[in-house]
């Protein structure tokens, strides 16, 4: 088969590699019908994720058709159309029993395109298939479901649910990439009174308005904090979500939040950020962090099937499966191409 193979920092190619096969009786092999690229794949290509080594097939999001299952797999059969989630779950360890699949101790967690070969390929081996794949309701399209492999559960679980968004809340989302936009879209499920998006790129702020933001603030403005306090009656927001992953935007969140408010960090941070406890100790702030667990996948699938979540709107560019290198190029130049999610489909 063909697959996107990582060959060290800055190097990837669409190579001919051996077809995957069932190795454990809990595995399934899935023919990839629709697949996408994540910002995390770009981090890997920069060399930021050393666990990914030369020869690894990239990708952790897909929709496909099961071709083969191990003897222990009960929930899916060859021929089934399934979502392959970015998080795999052994289903047995302490954390899986608490629905914290991201922290799985039994060999799951984020493994696809990281510790084992991933989904940017014609076929993918999915471990713990009963817990790591989801049969897809008929009325939803592959493209819609693909957005549930990573970005929607991340924005919803780590942003909206960790942030405890409630009806009437004012919500600030710092960073309006696919993850911040997913947080905006799913925050709206709780009827906040006001969603404010903050980004540096006007094109992303425009996207944020399309996804439901009521107000946008460019972080290049002279005093974005003052502006947001002005927009919230001088108090600050009830919930601030960090969806960038740099120290400055985390600090910004701590300045945007009202006393008693909540900060939900979603961004992946590579360097230390300052926590101004000398100012914050008195403000009754709650700060949460998290890796996506994908425990919300069944909920999100039901919302999709009921037409309550417009997931397809993330898709800005479409390619054939073998146009993988062109798709990477378009996605990596999001500033020029305005790409949010690029989707590759089997012809
Ligand atoms: N916690 C998790 O489980 C999880 C899962 C997936 C992704 N992530 C992380 O979420 C973050 C966002 O992911 P994404 O794919 O949307 O990334 P992205 O790079 O597409 O989007 C980031 C956005 O932040 C904006 N930005 C950059 N610097 C800024 C600043 N100083 N002020 C305001 N805006 C700024 C950019 O213009 C861009 O629109 C990343 O750190 C990613 O690694 C976390
Ligand atoms: Zn991802
Ligand atoms: Zn587990």
Beta bridge partners, 344, equal 35, 319
* pLDDT (0 to 100) of residue 347: 83
- Pocket-testing residue among 39, 45, 290, ligand 1, by greatest number of atoms within 8 A of Cβ: 39
pLDDT at 341: 98
Structure confidence at residue 297 (pLDDT): 98
Q: What is the reported pLDDT for 7?
A: 98
Residues with CB under 6 A from ligand 1: 39-40, 154, 158, 174-180, 198-201, 204, 219, 243-246, 248-249, 266-268, 290-292
DSSP 116: B
Q: Which ligand is nearest to the CA of 204?
A: 1
pLDDT at 270: 85
Angle at the Cα of 18 (from 12 to 24), degrees rounded to 5? Answer: 110
Long-range CB pairs of 221-225 (<8 Å, 24+ gap) are 224/198, 224/252, 225/252, 225/255, 225/256
Full-model pTM: 0.97
**DSSP E strand boundaries for 38-109:** 62-69, 81-84
Distance 294 CA to ligand 3 centre (A): 13
Alpha carbon distance 121, 64 (integer Å): 11
Q: Report the 10 Å Cβ neighbour count for 245.
A: 20
* Mean pLDDT of each 10-residue bin along the chain, 347 residues long: 97 98 98 97 93 97 98 97 98 98 98 98 98 94 97 98 98 98 98 98 96 98 96 96 97 98 95 95 97 98 96 97 98 96 96
In degrees and rounded to multiples of 5, residue 236 shows phi and psi of: 100, 175
Which among 207, 75, 65 has a CA at the least distance from the CA of 142?
65
């Amino acid at each position: 088969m063909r697959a996107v193979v990582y060959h060290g920092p800055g190097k990837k190619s669409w190579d001919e590699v051996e077809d995957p096969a069932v190795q454990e009786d809990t595995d399934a092999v899935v023919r990839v019908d629709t697949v996408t690229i994540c910002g995390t794949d770009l981090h890997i290509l920069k060399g930021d994720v050393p666990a990914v080594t030369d020869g690894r097939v990239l990708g952790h999001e897909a929709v496909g058709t099961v071709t083969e299952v191990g003897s222990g797999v009960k929930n899916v059969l060859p021929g089934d159309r399934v979502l392959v989630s970015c998080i795999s779950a052994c289903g047995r360890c302490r954390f899986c029993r608490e629905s914290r699949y991201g922290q799985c101790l039994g060999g799951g967690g984020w493994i696809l395109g990281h510790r084992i070969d991933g989904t940017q390929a014609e076929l993918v081996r999915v471990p713990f298939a009963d817990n790591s794949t989801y049969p897809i309701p008929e009325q939803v399209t592959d493209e819609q479901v693909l957005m549930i492999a990573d970005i929607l559960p991340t924005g919803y679980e780590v942003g909206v649910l960790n942030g405890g968004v409630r009806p009437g809340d004012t919500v600030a989302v710092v960073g309006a990439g696919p993850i911040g936009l997913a947080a905006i879209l799913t925050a709206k499920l709780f009827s906040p009174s006001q969603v404010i998006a903050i980004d540096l790129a006007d094109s992303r702020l425009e996207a944020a308005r399309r996804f439901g933001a009521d107000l946008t603030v460019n972080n290049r403005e002279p005093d974005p904090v003052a502006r947001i306090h002005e927009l919230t009656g001088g108090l600050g927001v009830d919930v601030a979500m960090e969806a960038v992953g740099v120290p400055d935007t985390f600090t910004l969140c701590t300045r945007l939040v009202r006393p008693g408010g909540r900060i939900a960090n979603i961004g992946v941070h590579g360097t230390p950020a300052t926590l101004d406890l000398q100012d914050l100790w008195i403000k009754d702030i709650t700060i949460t962090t998290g890796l996506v667990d994908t425990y919300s996948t069944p909920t999100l699938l039901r919302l999709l099937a009921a037409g309550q979540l417009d997931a397809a709107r993330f898709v800005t560019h479409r390619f054939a499966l073998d146009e993988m290198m062109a798709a990477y190029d378009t996605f990596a130049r999001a500033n020029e191409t305005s790409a949010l999610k690029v989707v590759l489909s089997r012809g």
